[in-house]
Structure 1
Amino acid sequence: MLITTLPEVPGHEIAEVLGVVKGNTVRAKHVGKDILASLRQIVGGEIKEYTDMLAEARAEAERRMTEEAEKLGADAVINVRYT
């Protein structure tokens, strides 16, 4: 499955538009990790617990989007946006 943020893929033709696919997820913070993150926030710098949580959420959302596209019979998802 080709997944890209480009609106067009050089060398490929869009034969058919099958629709919009999406992948969503919501994550809850762990109380213990949240306390550690709060302490790190005082000192400054990256809050690794939140960075890891964001990476996991994005990976899960992309997996769900890919599954939705495959159900439609798609071989690519183009113009992907991460927000």
Structure 2
Amino acid sequence: MMNELIVTTTDFIPGREVIEILGIARGSTVRARNVGRDIIAGLKTLIGGEISEYTKLQANSRDQAFQRMIKDAKVLKADAIINVRFNTSMIMAGASEVMAYGTAVKLK
């Protein structure tokens, strides 16, 4: 039997059978921009191109939400998380929530 939690965006795992749905596994984080990044981003909007400061902020937010979702699935004693999705929403000006969620399942 596998010890590693399987995480996938599909609704099935080839060669494995879902025998129980445990519920939704979710993880989220709320992050705010900072003045230093905003100044640099403002300058980059004048010249164009990727705003790497925000790209890094979003990547870190997604990673943290993803890890929290996995932790939640382990609390549920899941073997896998299927149908994984990410969602981002603005909480207030300058702050957004990143959420990772999926269906925690037991496998045969």
Fold match by TM threshold 0.5: yes
Measure, in 2, the Cα distance between the counterparts of 1:45 and 1:82. Answer: 24
1:3-82 map, 5 Å = 3-82=7-86
Measure, in 1, the Cα distance between the counterparts of 2:11 and 2:54. Answer: 30
Work out the percentage of aligned pairs sharing the same amino acid. Answer: 48
Correspondence for 2:101: none
Q: Which runs of 5+ in 1 are unaligned?
A: none
| Offset at residue 33 of structure 1 (A) | 1.1
TM-score by length of 2: 0.74
Q: Which runs of 5+ in 2 are unaligned?
A: 88-108
Q: How many residues matched? A: 83
Q: Secondary structure at the match of 1:56?
A: helix
Q: Greater relative contact order: 1 or 2 (C-alpha under 8 angstroms, separation 6 or more)?
A: 1
Q: Secondary structure at the match of 1:6?
A: coil
CA RMSD, 1 decimal: 0.7
- From the two aligned structures, give the one with the greater helix fraction: 1
Q: State the 4+ residue runs in structure 1 displaced beyond 3 angstroms.
A: none
